[in-house]
Amino acid sequence: MKWTILLPLLPLVLSAPAPAPQNNDPASTSAAQNATATATATGSSSTSTGSSPSNTTSNNPSVTIYPDTSNGTPIKITGVNVAEYGQDLYLGVPYAQPPVGDLRFSPPQSYIYNFSVTAQKQPPACLQSPNGLAGTQSEDCLYLNVYAPQGSNATSAYLPVMVWIYGGSFTSGSIDLYNATALQAYASKTGKPFIYVALNYRLGTFGWPSGSGFAENGAANLGLKDIRKGLEWVQENIWAFGGNPDQVTVFGESAGAIATSLLYLDENINTFKSAIMESGAQSTTPIGPTGSTWEDAYQYLLQVTNCSSTPASSANATAATPSSAANTTATTSSTNATSTGYATSSDSTSKLTGFECLKALPADALLKGQLTVKSNLLFAGFIYGPSIDGDLIPDSPHTLLSQGRFAKKPFISGNNKDEGTSFVPSFVNSTQTGMQLLAIFSPVDPDNSTVAQLYSLYSPEPSAGSPFDTGNQTFGFSPAHKQIAAILGDAQFQAPRRYFLEQANSHGLDQTWSYQFEQYTPGQPAARGVYHASEIPYVYGLSVPGANLTSIGFGNNYTVGDQQLSYQMVDYWLNFAYYSNPNGQSNSNATVWPTYSNDKNILRLKSDNITVFTDNYRQAQMDFFNGNPTEFNYKRSIAGVQRG
């Protein structure tokens, strides 16, 4: 959660009672017994690299890494310790070279450590809309945060590692919005301390571009490549913080879960052992070839940035011309972003391609173009996101899963009960406007007969729509609003999750678990139901009495029941990080969470009803989605966009 929101909550979280520690595997917790149980928070700003600032004291923690790029020179990283809460924080550690200048639209490059690193302030978010929750932004944003129990280092601990990948529709999000202090506090109280890592990745057209120019230059899925690079950094360096590189669990929500699921398409990936995916699977967003799926949006981006046909001198007319682009920045008031200058072409008479023009633009100009494209209703869908590039994503994920071409690593994949309510605007008040919304989200529209079949499977009666189990209430909207919310929730979240689990089990991966989160968020409108992302405060241990999280889209007046559910969920998540099994290795009063298996077991997460049931709700509807992957953009060929 955002630091300024979390600070007032820490006394509530840290004073809340926790269950007694469970019996653990001694080999897993010998170092953990020396860790202090509590948490800390500090201010937010940006990170600095170089000599330690004057306010650094001998009480501040430090670790030493030996990265390949330092030519054997030890690199000291100095963090922040707040003894009152018993945690060491390393904020804003660079894991890749700044993706600016010639490195824009390039895969992340290993960071070259020439100096020690002072990691005591929050790093900037990657460029995104200035109207969101993220604070300071910059194109130079490839940093990560590490939270460790106080005193944890290479000589004192060897703990499991959990790496958080944030969501935000691939266009927003930042690690400074997620604070793991409460989660760390609970983990230490219950005898399962761990190392927490959260990493930034590029967003929007900077990280998830589509279009012919990007395809021709191998510039797709850059955000996913950033995540892979961050995980490689963890493998190389987390030992210095007291983390076990062989015991890394990736967990993420929404776009973070989708990205994590796509990592599974590399059968030989070795940067993590297991994953937890909250509301996201490989085909949650429509996916197709980089060069053709959203080509119209790419052409519109070229148009609004004046890059459709641009002489080199014109493209650079508004760009700064420093001798070293990476060392010169200018703050733009319009976007609260840091814009990095770009050198002009030495040949002013040559013409740049559209791609080259976009690469040469000042960062704020490119961001403005991206936001202009997204503001056009025709491109309000997921035009920035993963694409089939023939490399990192070699083919349709739907096809790869059906062929068993994915990593056989344990995972948890779950959904919230009413995923679709967050994606249906208020103007949807009829079947016709619902169909128009489907068209906006789809790069290739389903044909009329398919749409007709789809609507025949979803009753227009309010009692059948989402939010589910709310009877005939329409909350002031048309019944069509609930109908399309049910359709979108299943199409984007439920059906892809179920397909991933079914294919995993059919290809021999039986260490899989699934859940449905069904807890209503206090203080939120009933029309939202159990909405997308509402589980996050529970996963982070923040849903405690007295907490008010409405300013960041969550609830207030959380109850003891909310707190108990939160702690149970954290127990499952921590057990999975420790043992690759959410049930752990001890006897407890918790509901046993069975594997998904052929019985299609799914765990209901609700404060008064943590029970196992069968994942066969709306079976015909989800079979229809998964049985028509081309129509619903789950399955499209790298060879082209033709149907079939």
The residues annotated with a catalytic role in the active site are 254
Q: What are the tokens at 169?
A: 């529709």
CB 129 within 8 A of CB 205: no
b/e per residue 584-606 (b: at least 16 CB within 10 A): beeeeebbebebbeeebbbbbbb
Query: How far apart are the two ends of the chain, measured CA to CA in Å?
Result: 44
**Sheet (strand 329-332) strand order:** 137-138, 337-340, 329-332
471 CB burial (10 A radius; 0-12, 13-18, 19+): exposed
Whole-number Å distance between alpha carbons of 572 and 605: 11
Token pair of 617 as six digits:
């709700």
Write down the residue that tokens 């509301």 correspond to. Answer: 279
Helix (H) or strand (E) run with residue 55 in it: none
Q: What is the DSSP letter of 447?
A: P
Nearest CA-CA partner of 404 in 503, 496, 498: 503
State the pairing for strand pair 411-416/195-199. unpaired
The whole-angstrom separation of Cα 280 and Cα 286 is 12
Query: CA 588, CA 23: separation in Å to the nearest integer?
Result: 9
Cis check: omega of the bond before 467, within 30 degrees of 0: yes
Residue 276: which of 580, 571, 598 has the closest Cα?
580
Burial of 469 (0-12, 13-18, 19+ CB in 10 A): exposed
Distance separating alpha carbons of residues 364 and 387, to the nearest angstrom:
25
Query: Which residue has 């439920």 as its token pair?
Result: 494
* Strand, coil or helix: 556: strand
Distance, CA of 516 to CA of 603 (rounded, Å): 6
Residue with tokens 């890749």: 96
Contact 64, 239 (CB under 8 A): no
CA separation for the pair 210, 288 (Å, rounded): 10
Give the single-character DSSP code of 384.
Answer: S
3-state secondary structure of 353: coil
Residue 311 pairs in a beta bridge with 351
φ/ψ of residue 169, rounded to 5: 60, 25
Helix, strand, or coil (residue 260): helix
Is the Cβ–Cβ distance between 352 and 332 less than 8 Å? no
